[in-house]
């Protein structure tokens, strides 16, 4: 086969054609301590987040094998490209069986990108600087890929502008109405408890099978994303924005004909447009060592929490139990939805509209090369999830006080609290050191600390058993987790 030099190393001409093809592969072994499901996740949902001797697998092993295909052909409109990456993975003990996965599959032609690619909103990924996959503090969808149909215009001198439609979260994707391959769509109907039954929104802070089930309307409109970017010798920078449609389902308790609740006999809230904006910068630091970099990205949103913290965490419940052998256990909790609503008249002056949730995240890193084969990075980030005053009244109709019960926990798995405040924050910082004895081989270790400023801080009571933790008095308080990850990875021209 004849070597193709148009697109870099590893390409060969396909015999009898003018198409250049590169085939690559990745093989990874990873071991993780104190994560909650593989990939360095922290503050997970359900049993993996209990952190008891019998409920949480505190040590995970992961093996991943990926194959890549990159074919390119020159046309009168520019390069026609097709790229695919997928393979097999096993993460024990969390996923004891092998699974098939793929995170890239796209076509590029005449400035268009179509398929599963990186989001046009994203800019800074922590993946090159850490081994964790912490969507709690990162907007980047690179770990899973995003469904996109976008166009990029090259403006000259390193400047470009892009616009795209992207999957904002399919309302029918799974029991939680969330899609970890998208931004998440999570409008919460809080009428269920008031109606005297199991409502549409179900969050159980005290059940090992905790879920959050939004009551979304259908997904009629994709997200609209745009950016403007510059790439030059000094580094890169980007400004981006997104629009995200929030559609609630039907009210569960409204009007004389609303029986049964959440049916076509009931009215519904008006749609609300959520939005997100972001700015990021990466600066090269060759004056210290070749390859040195520093970067940061900030994201602010209203009604689009899957952008500051990508869809993986947009509709998750985070809780962490630490049994101390006595009568009291420690918990940290939080949930994030794009918006919340109840029936009109639920509180004085409230008209039944969707109250949008505010979220903010900041991510940063710095990386230094001690030698061309040895590097160390330090990274970190924070995410704030906050609800406006009306949303807090909808969630906490009894207000703060002794064992005030939020609307959201339902049934016998509820949680009585002394401080009904759903706001919460997550912080994380870590450092990875990696040795490359050969350009194809990565050997490294990553140590990260994560902290949860819990929602509902104070005393509480769980009314149902949670794994090894029985129903009992609990302290709802801030939580910390230390995650240690080691990796060996072979990269053959991926």
Within 8 A by CB and 6+ apart from 76, the residues are: none
- Residue 371 confidence (pLDDT) above 50: yes
Strand 458-462 relative to strand 473-476: parallel, antiparallel, unpaired? antiparallel
Is-contact 368 289, C-beta < 8 A?
yes
- Higher per-residue confidence, 224 vs 392: 224
Give me the residue label for tokens 């009931």.
266
Average pLDDT of every residue of the chain? 82
Over residues 407-435, the mean pLDDT reads 71
Whole-number Å distance between alpha carbons of 223 and 184: 11
Residue 343 lies in a domain: yes
Over residues 365-376, the mean pLDDT reads 98
Say what the pLDDT of residue 189 is.
81
Task: Residue 450: name the closest of 484, 486, 487 by CA.
Answer: 484
- For residues 242-278, one letter each, b for 16 or more C-beta atoms within 10 angstroms of the residue's C-beta and e for the rest, the string is bbbbbbbbbbbbbeeebeebbeeebebbeebebbbbb
Give me the residue label for tokens 């166009």.
151
Whole-number Å distance between alpha carbons of 66 and 60: 19
**pLDDT band for position 3 (50/70/90)?**
very high
**pLDDT band for position 198 (50/70/90)?**
very low
Is-contact 147 160, C-beta < 8 A?
no
Residue-level length of the chain? 494
**213-240 tens-digit pLDDT:** 677 887 788 999 999 999 999 999 999 9
Give me the residue label for tokens 């939580």.
479
Residue 471 lies in a domain: yes
Say what the pLDDT of residue 39 is.
59
Residue 483 lies in a domain: yes
Is 120 exposed, middle or buried, given 0-12, 13-18 or 19+ CB atoms closer than 10 A? buried
Within 8 A by CB and 6+ apart from 174, the residues are: none
Count of domains for the chain? 1
**pLDDT band for position 411 (50/70/90)?**
very low
Over residues 187-213, the mean pLDDT reads 46
- Residue 112 confidence (pLDDT) above 90: yes
**138-186 tens-digit pLDDT:** 888 888 888 999 999 999 999 999 999 998 876 444 334 444 557 877 8
The β-bridge partners of 301 are 276, 359
397: region left, alpha or beta (phi > 0 left; psi from -120 to 50 alpha): alpha
Task: Residue 135: name the closest of 151, 156, 119 by CA.
Answer: 119
The β-bridge partners of 328 are 473
Whole-number Å distance between alpha carbons of 338 and 299: 15
- Residue 415 confidence (pLDDT) above 80: no
Say what the pLDDT of residue 480 is.
85
Say what the pLDDT of residue 456 is.
80
How far, in whole angstroms, is CA 266 from its chain's centroid?
33
Residue 219 lies in a domain: yes
Say what the pLDDT of residue 206 is.
35
C-beta neighbour count of 310 within 10 angstroms: 31
Sign of CA dihedral 197, 199, 204, 208: positive
SS3 390: helix
Indicate the range of 112-126, 187-201, 396-410, 425-439 predicted with least confidence.
396-410
Long-range contacts of 345-348 (CB under 8 A, 24+ apart): 346/190, 346/191, 346/194, 346/394, 346/397, 347/390, 347/393, 347/394, 347/397
Task: Residue 421: name the closest of 457, 394, 390, 397 by CA.
Answer: 457
Over residues 464-472, the mean pLDDT reads 69
Cα-Cα-Cα-Cα dihedral of 184, 189, 190, 195, to 10°?
Answer: -150
**pLDDT band for position 243 (50/70/90)?**
very high
The pair phi, psi for residue 262, each rounded to 5°, is: 55, 50
Task: Residue 459: name the closest of 268, 327, 367 by CA.
Answer: 327
Whole-number Å distance between alpha carbons of 449 and 435: 22
Q: The domain containing residue 440 runs over which residues?
A: 20-492
Residue 9 lies in a domain: no
Whole-number Å distance between alpha carbons of 385 and 368: 32
Residue 1 lies in a domain: no
Q: What is the CATH number of the domain that holds 125?
A: 2.40.160.10
Whole-number Å distance between alpha carbons of 376 and 33: 20
Say what the pLDDT of residue 170 is.
61
Residue 256 lies in a domain: yes
- Higher per-residue confidence, 484 vs 204: 484
**pLDDT band for position 136 (50/70/90)?**
confident
**pLDDT band for position 330 (50/70/90)?**
confident
Indicate the range of 197-211, 264-278, 365-379 predicted with least confidence.
197-211
Residue 4 lies in a domain: no
Task: Residue 134: name the closest of 455, 449, 453 by CA.
Answer: 449
Highest mean pLDDT of the ranges 327-336, 373-382, 469-478: 373-382
- Residue 376 confidence (pLDDT) above 50: yes
Whole-number Å distance between alpha carbons of 129 and 431: 8
């Amino acid at each position: 086969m004849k070597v193709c030099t148009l697109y870099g190393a590893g390409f060969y001409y396909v015999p009898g054609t003018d198409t250049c093809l590169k085939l690559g592969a990745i093989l990874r072994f990873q071991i993780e301590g104190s994560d909650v499901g593989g990939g360095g996740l922290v503050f997970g949902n359900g049993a993996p987040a209990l952190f008891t001797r019998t409920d949480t697998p505190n040590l995970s092993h992961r093996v991943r094998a990926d194959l890549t295909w990159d074919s390119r052909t020159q046309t009168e409109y520019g390069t026609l490209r097709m790229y695919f990456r997928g393979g097999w993975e096993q993460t024990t003990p969390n996923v004891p069986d092998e699974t098939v996965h793929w995170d890239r599959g796209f076509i590029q032609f005449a400035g268009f990108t179509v398929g599963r690619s990186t989001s046009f909103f994203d800019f800074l990924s922590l993946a090159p600087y850490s081994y964790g996959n912490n969507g709690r503090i990162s907007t980047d969808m690179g770990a899973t890929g995003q469904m996109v149909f976008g166009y990029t215009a090259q403006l000259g001198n390193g400047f470009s502008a892009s616009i795209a439609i992207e999957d904002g979260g399919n309302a029918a994707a799974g029991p939680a109405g969330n899609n970890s391959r998208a931004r998440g769509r999570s409008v919460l109907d809080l009428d269920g408890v008031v109606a005297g039954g199991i409502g549409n929104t179900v969050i159980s802070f005290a059940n090992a099978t905790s879920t959050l089930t939004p009551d979304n309307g259908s997904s009629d409109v994709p997200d609209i994303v745009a950016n403007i970017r510059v790439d030059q010798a000094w580094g890169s920078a980007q400004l981006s924005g997104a629009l995200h449609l929030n559609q609630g389902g039907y009210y569960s308790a409204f009007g004389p004909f609303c029986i049964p609740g959440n049916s076509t006999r009931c009215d519904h809230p008006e749609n609300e447009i959520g939005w997100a904006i972001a700015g990021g910068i990466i600066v090269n630091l060759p004056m210290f060592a070749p390859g040195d970099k520093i970067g940061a990205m900030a994201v602010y949103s209203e009604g689009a929490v899957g952008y500051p913290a990508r869809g993986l965490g947009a509709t998750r419940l985070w809780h962490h139990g630490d049994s101390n052998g006595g009568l009291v256990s420690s918990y940290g909790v939080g949930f994030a939805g794009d918006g919340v609503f109840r029936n009109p008249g639920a509180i004085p002056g409230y008209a039944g509209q969707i109250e949008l949730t505010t979220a903010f995240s900041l991510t940063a890193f710095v990386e230094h090369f001690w030698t061309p084969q040895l590097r160390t990075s330090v990274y970190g980030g924070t995410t704030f999830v906050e609800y406006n005053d009306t949303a807090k009244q909808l969630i906490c109709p009894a207000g703060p006080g002794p064992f005030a019960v939020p609307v959201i926990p339902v049934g016998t798995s509820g949680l009585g609290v002394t401080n009904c405040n759903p706001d919460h924050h997550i912080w994380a910082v870590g450092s990875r050191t990696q040795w490359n004895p050969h350009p194809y081989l990565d050997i490294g270790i990553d140590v990260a600390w994560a902290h949860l400023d819990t929602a509902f801080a104070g005393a509480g009571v769980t009314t149902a058993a949670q794994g090894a933790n029985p129903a009992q008095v609990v302290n709802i308080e801030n939580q910390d987790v230390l995650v240690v990850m080691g990796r060996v990875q072979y990269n053959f021209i991926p």
